[in-house]
Amino acid sequence: MPEVLIVNTRYQQRLFNLWLRFFPVKYANSIYIARGSVLGKNMEVGFGTRFNGPTYIRGTGKLKIGRYCAIAHMSRFITSNHRISGVNLQHALDRAMEIAPGVSSKSNIALGHNVWLGDSVLVLPGVNVGNGAIIGAGSVVVKDIEPYSIYAGNPAKKVRDRFDDRIKNALEEAAWWEWSLGRMRRAQQFFMADFATLEVDEAVAKIQEQALQSDQDVT
């Protein structure tokens, strides 16, 4: 079974959404989508990601979500929007006139790896969210989110960075989200470490040391 859940046809979308009316989706023993969610027809969800409460996805653009993301209750993704440069704004009227509905060129949403969205976050078309970012509950995301940063508000604004730039770079190079679960379990002390209490040099060394050990671990 592939490690990525892909929904890219109307049939798949309808099948998943029918199932989600009554049951959660558990895919590849790692991806979890809560009952009551509504999926879009063009989406990709990475290994280990969880939609921990009902999530709503709509639009004609693509939604791509990385590995080990945590999506909280009532999060929403809108992957496309109405074109506003023409005369008409209603898609139903476009179809009645037998013309293609006007869609804005700003579309698609991408979440990196290990992103955490709080309850009731709304992500709008064209947004890219970096690895390790946190978006506070109730936020409306209209612009790109920097990796390893915390954003909140309407519209969402940067609150602070999670880590020093050197730590961020080390984490990007380590790409721990690609490790096997077995490797992660053997690195429990690394994942339990409080990086806020470590000096930058110490934190970087810890990340690099663990990354090397994991690279050499082929079992």
The whole-model pTM stands at 0.91
For 114-142, the pLDDT digits (tens) are 999 999 999 999 999 999 999 999 999 99
Asked if pLDDT for residue 219 goes beyond 50, the answer is no
Q: 113 an active-site residue?
A: no
- pLDDT for the residue 32: 98
Instruction: Break the chain into its structural domains and give their ranges.
Output: 5-161, 165-216
List the end-to-end C-alpha distance of the chain, in Å, as a whole number: 20
Choose between 51 and 41: higher pLDDT: 51
pLDDT of 10 above 50: yes
Q: Which of 73, 82, 91, 113 is catalytic?
A: 91
Q: What is the pLDDT of residue 82?
A: 85
Q: Which amino acid is at 3?
A: E
For residue 95 the two structure tokens come to 């179809």
pLDDT one-digit tens code per residue, 68-96: 999 999 999 999 988 888 888 888 888 89
> In the numeric block, which tokens belong to residue 82?
């109405």
* SS3 call for 203: helix
Please compute Rg for the chain using Cα positions: 19
Q: CA torsion sign, 48 to 143 to 100 to 18? A: positive
Confidence of residue 1 (pLDDT cuts 50, 70, 90): low
CATH 2.60.40.790 fits 5-161, yes or no: no
Q: Which residue has the higher pLDDT, 3 or 109?
A: 109
- Report the distance separating Cα 218 and Cα 187, nearest Å: 14
Q: Mean pLDDT throughout 152-175?
A: 97
Give me the long-range contacts of 23-32 (CB less than 8 A, separation at least 24): 27/1, 28/1, 28/2, 28/3, 30/3, 31/5
